[in-house]
Amino acid sequence: MPRDQHDKNFEMHFGPLWYSFQHKNCNFIVLYSDEGNPETGEKAFNKPESQKVSPEQFAFLQQALQRGKDNDHQFIFLHHPRWLQGNYGNDWGQRVHPLLKQAGNVTAVFAGHIHHMRYDPADGIEYVTLASVGAHIQSTVPEAGFLHQYHLVTVRPKQVALTAYPVGAAMNVREITGDMQAEVVGLAKQPLEISQRIKITDAGPQAAVLTAKVTNPTSKPIEFTVTPSSGDSHWMLFPSHVHGRLEPGKSQTVKLDAEYSTKTLDSSFRGIDLVLSRDYLAKTTRYRIPDTTTEVEFDLQISEPKDDVANQALLLDGKDDAMRIPAEKIKLPQGPFTVEGWINAASFSDRTAVFAKTQNSEYGIYASKGVPTATAHLGGKYVQVRSSRTLSTKQWHHLALVYDGKSLALFVDGNEEAREAVAPNSKRTTNGLPLFVGADPDGSGTPGSFFHGQVDEFRVSKAAVYTKNFTPNRRLKAEQDTVVMYNFDAAFGPIVFDKGPQKLHLQLNRGGKLTELAP
């Protein structure tokens, strides 16, 4: 790639990078916001030094504004909305905006790039950022500008009308300010707080009054509906829904009765979801917030099934399935430990987490592009060991991460693939994030980098179980040093059973299901 990425070739074959023209007593100025770093030529929209208007283009802008000084309106167009600052820096605010303000008749500035709408007027100039028309959209809150659309600008000598047209609708552009958009995004992320868990004993699910709290963190009223639902027809849920309205900063608690009509649990058993629907009531528009679904957690006081159940495995779809083990339940002390399990991958992505709790801390096993790696945050830094082999798909493999107090090792199918020495008794950096089977957490505990395939015989031990090459047991057992151990053989619906001493039985609230073992 040549310096400036073919800017000169573009000018030679297509036309200037910045230009202006006049039409019906309006001046239209097109700027080039991808000039790059003037010293290195690097083009980057996340580095302020690459987002400055060059002296040549700034001089052109001065001249173009002067040519349009007697027009009714002047309109500016560019790719990057540099007035948003952040990674764009403040070159626009310090140099360009004062020039536009001084002109006196700059009506609006239009840009794109960020793939969602927003409106940020300043000093009488309307700064308008457009969403996409066909490109990728993050559908956080579609009605608040996260959608495919085009803008229609109607120009009159003394005024300008702005309307955004998504498919089959029209939107008030001027209402979608940065502040308003931040509020609806925050509202979309505001969870439904459920304080009651459903107790499940050997006598079946116990009747419960579910208590859920809805909060409005915004500066506008909202209306909401909480609807209980389940894929299990044995649940009797009342009322069928609860409506409400919340003024800014207020909260409301809703209560729903839940009762299970039988004491017998089988594979068809399912839990209860609470679906939260909300509308943000702005001055001119009701903005629908995408529904959120929260699963009611179980208080599991149930005996595990007998050992004569079928040999099964946990099937994960590689899209959003994972098994979540809460951080407060993984009682892994400092010192030696082992994380292990069997996997049968249907495919491997560029980044594939198998068992992970990492986030600048803790531990994980990965198989990105099929290459096994093990990592642990020891002595204040990550230590990583990597296999030289690539795993086959549609074949069972045993993976084990082992820390013995002086080194970190990775075993694949019982063979030691790599070992890295560390300072003796290095402490593991801990975190409050969940341990995922089939994914790894981000900083908020949300899973990503999903595994696609089957997982079986997952075990965490507070000891270095393996010190040399070994033949992996296809059926693992709970031992004295076992912290948790899931063989995924028995389940009642979304409940899987821990064979370890904690009896940390879990519900599969992140997807996944038990299936017959792949050959």
State pLDDT tens for residues 474-491.
Answer: 999 999 999 999 999 877
Of 154-168, 199-213, 275-289, 392-406, highest mean pLDDT: 392-406
Contact predicate 49/89, CB 8 Å? yes
1: pLDDT strictly greater than 70? no
517: pLDDT strictly greater than 80? no
State mean pLDDT over 280-297: 92
307: pLDDT strictly greater than 70? no
Instruction: Give burial (CB, 10 Å; 0-12/13-18/19+) of 222.
Output: buried
290: pLDDT strictly greater than 80? yes
Pairwise CA distance, residues 294 & 271, whole Å: 11
Q: How close are the terminal C-alpha atoms of the chain, in Å?
A: 49
* Prediction pTM value: 0.67
> In sequence order, which residues have a C-beta less than 8 Å from that of residue 21 and are 6 or more positions away?
27, 28
Domains of the chain, with CATH numbers? 7-166 (3.60.21.10), 178-300 (2.60.40.10), 308-516 (2.60.120.200)
pLDDT in tens, 85-123: 988 989 999 999 999 999 999 999 999 999 999 999 999
pLDDT for 21 equals 97
Q: Got the DSSP string for 108-120?
A: EEEE-SSSS-EE-
Contact predicate 336/427, CB 8 Å? no
State mean pLDDT over 216-241: 94
How does the average pLDDT of the chain come out, rounded?
Answer: 92
Q: Answer left, alpha or beta for residue 168, where phi above 0 means left and psi between -120 and 50 means alpha.
A: left
**What confidence category does residue 268 fall into, taking pLDDT thresholds of 50, 70 and 90?**
confident
Residue 171, helix vs strand vs coil: strand
- Other Cβ atoms less than 10 A from the Cβ of 218: the count is 22
Contact predicate 99/109, CB 8 Å? no
**What confidence category does residue 3 fall into, taking pLDDT thresholds of 50, 70 and 90?**
low
